[in-house]
């Protein structure tokens, strides 16, 4: 009897039950399917943003990165938390008060249609990359911990199917409520894994041996492995992501009021931080226990040896982390496509029933396209940083307009986003650029986007006009 597999099946069954229940309650509410505006209390908002942040990169990806940089790999989640806190008082606050449902819709009001158009393209690229990585991470988790049942390919396929169905059945409502369950499983799985690996499997003793044998590698330092440049780079990337990516900011709209949205983001940020460093510690322990294993498989190999029931809970927790991010981003991408592309060019009035059908069709198509993309991707954390760094261009124009409207030029919006797209192409296609000039794509994108935005704004006489209500 495969107990871990049975636990995973039970977990999926509960998720479907939640999604079906939510779907029945909003049969004719087309707006609630994608937006779920004003429905969630502080804790559900917190679970939603924490569930979104703690994905494959925040668990397996951190453990993998800890092989070479030690505990400092945990700063990935802390950077996410810093971004979420800033977003709670910036992008979330202004989007709620603007009356718009999408960041690109608000940008259209600030900078015009040309900038809004290129931002929609950028948003689709960013969110598609993140979704694809969650499928891939989900496949890796299932294949590593249930090798007799899944390969990476079949695990990726199953992750895609389940994530898509959860999103298409209940929309943003089911994503919000299932993230409460996901967060509980994430914490249970990670804590159980840490306790067993460190105490019962000799993890602490193995770490002591490892650090004594390799004193030049700062495995147990909170900062030295990544270095402050790397840490600051992650913070910069996450500030861009949390203040301009639709799938992130949209969660703020689900808060029943401004206080619930703001407090939910702050509480969610606090819930992110411990998971990152615990997963980093598990990565170091895995390196110590299995030094000959590859970085991407060492932690799953260690977890395979724990008791079946606990292994099933841990597996469900890791997969839940992946699902929380994947489902939230699928809804975010679908909202961008529906509101800023499909409905924008629809002249005739569409009935609520037809809107729900169209929205669900967009979810299915978006999921399918991102699954195809997932089959072509490389390492989890490296690819994630590249996908998220593209948000720096969009974040510059959003933050610039909201904080410095008298300086921000209308033409700067379009050219800053275009510069970010060109920059990420250059970073990936010109091998000499990264090692010659910059250690991090985040610093590179920050410099390019910052220079373009500031220079054009300085010479552009037409400034953005912020017209956002306080109610």
Looking at residue 380, its pLDDT comes to: 53
152-170 exposure pattern, b = at least 16 Cβ within 10 A, e = fewer: beebbbbbbebbbbbbbbb
- Whether pLDDT at 228 is above 70: yes
Looking at residue 470, its pLDDT comes to: 41
Looking at residue 54, its pLDDT comes to: 85
- Whether pLDDT at 274 is above 80: yes
More confident residue, 137 or 280: 280
CB 128, CB 369: distance < 8 Å: yes
Nearest of 86, 405, 440, 37 to residue 253 by alpha carbon: 37
Q: Is 409 exposed, middle or buried (0-12, 13-18, 19+ CB in 10 A)?
A: buried
Looking at residue 433, its pLDDT comes to: 60
- Whether pLDDT at 409 is above 50: yes
**DSSP 8-state assignment for residue 439:** S
Average pLDDT over residues 362-372: 91
What is d(CA 243, CA 310) in angstroms, rounded to the nearest whole number? 37
- Whether pLDDT at 469 is above 60: no
Q: Which of 110-114, 187-191, 364-368 has the lowest mean pLDDT?
A: 187-191
Q: How confident is residue 267, by pLDDT bands cut at 50, 70 and 90?
A: very high
The 10s digit of each residue's pLDDT in 283-342 is 899 889 888 776 666 667 777 777 778 777 877 877 887 888 888 889 988 988 888 888
The 10s digit of each residue's pLDDT in 146-186 is 888 888 889 999 999 999 999 999 888 888 888 888 888 88
What is d(CA 57, CA 384) in angstroms, rounded to the nearest whole number? 7
The 10s digit of each residue's pLDDT in 110-157 is 898 899 899 898 888 888 888 888 888 888 888 877 888 888 889 999
CATH fold of 32-379 reads Sodium/glucose cotransporter (1.20.1730)
Q: Which of 253-262, 409-418, 440-449 has the lowest mean pLDDT?
A: 440-449
CB 39, CB 254: distance < 8 Å: yes
Q: How confident is residue 377, by pLDDT bands cut at 50, 70 and 90?
A: low
CB 324, CB 183: distance < 8 Å: yes
- In order of 70, 267, 285, 288, 301, the CA distances from 204 in angstroms are 14, 31, 7, 9, 17
- Whether pLDDT at 352 is above 60: yes
Whole-prediction pTM value? 0.84
Q: How confident is residue 222, by pLDDT bands cut at 50, 70 and 90?
A: very high
- In order of 128, 262, 394, 395, the CA distances from 418 in angstroms are 18, 31, 10, 13
Q: How confident is residue 262, by pLDDT bands cut at 50, 70 and 90?
A: very high
Residue 279 three-state SS: helix
Mean pLDDT for the chain? Answer: 85
Which value, in Å, is the radius of gyration of the alpha carbons in the chain? 22
* H-type alpha helices, 290-351: 298-303, 308-337
- Whether pLDDT at 434 is above 60: no
- SS3 assignment for 370-436: HHHHHCCCCCHHHHHHHHHHCHHHHHHHHHHHHHCCCCCEHHHHHHHHHHHHHHHHHHHHCCCHHHH
């Amino acid at each position: 009897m495969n107990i871990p597999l049975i636990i995973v099946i039970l977990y999926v069954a509960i998720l479907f039950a939640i999604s079906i229940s939510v779907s029945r309650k909003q049969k004719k509410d087309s707006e609630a399917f994608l937006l779920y505006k004003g429905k969630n209390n502080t804790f559900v908002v917190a679970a939603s943003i924490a569930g979104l942040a703690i994905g494959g990169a925040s668990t397996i990806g951190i453990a993998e990165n800890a092989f070479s940089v030690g505990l400092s790999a945990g700063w990935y989640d802390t950077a996410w938390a810093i971004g979420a806190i800033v977003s709670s008082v910036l992008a979330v606050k202004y989007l709620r008060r603007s009356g718009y449902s999408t960041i690109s819709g608000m940008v259209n009001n600030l900078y015009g249609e040309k900038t809004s158009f290129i931002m929609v393209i950028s948003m689709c690229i960013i969110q598609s990359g993140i979704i694809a990585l969650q499928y891939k991470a989900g496949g890796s988790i299932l294949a590593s911990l249930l090798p007799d049942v899944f390969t990476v390919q079949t695990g990726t396929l199953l992750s895609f199917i389940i994530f898509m169905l959860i999103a298409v059945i209940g929309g943003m409502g089911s994503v919000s409520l299932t993230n409460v369950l996901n967060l509980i499983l994430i914490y249970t799985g990670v804590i159980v894994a840490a306790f067993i690996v460190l105490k019962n499997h000799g993890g602490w003793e193995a770490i002591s041996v490892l650090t004594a044998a390799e004193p030049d590698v700062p495995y147990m330092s909170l900062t030295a492995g990544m270095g402050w440049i790397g840490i600051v780079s992650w913070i910069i990337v996450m500030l861009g992501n949390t203040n301009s990516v639709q799938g992130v900011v949209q969660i703020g709209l689900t808060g029943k009021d401004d206080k619930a949205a703001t407090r939910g983001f702050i509480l969610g940020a606090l819930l992110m931080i411990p998971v990152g460093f615990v997963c980093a510690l598990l990565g170091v322990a895995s390196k110590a226990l299995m030094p000959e294993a590859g970085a991407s498989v060492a932690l799953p190999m260690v977890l395979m040896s724990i008791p079946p029931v606990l292994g099933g809970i841990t597996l469900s927790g890791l997969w839940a982390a992946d699902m929380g991010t994947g489902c939230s981003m699928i809804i975010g991408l679908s909202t961008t496509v529906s509101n800023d592309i499909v409905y924008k060019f629809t002249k005739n009035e569409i009935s609520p029933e037809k809107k729900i059908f169209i929205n669900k069709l967009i979810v299915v198509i978006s999921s399918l396209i991102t699954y195809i993309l997932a089959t072509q991707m490389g390492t989890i954390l490296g690819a994630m940083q590249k996908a998220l760094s593209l948000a720096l261009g969009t974040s510059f124009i959003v933050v610039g307009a909201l904080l410095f409207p008298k300086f921000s030029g209308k033409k700067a919006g379009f050219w800053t986003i275009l510069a970010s797209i060109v920059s990420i192409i250059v970073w990936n296609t010109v091998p000499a650029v990264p090692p010659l000039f910059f250690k991090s794509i985040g610093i590179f994108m920050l410099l390019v986007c910052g220079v373009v935005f500031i220079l054009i704004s300085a010479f552009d006489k037409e400034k953005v006009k912020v017209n956002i209500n306080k109610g």
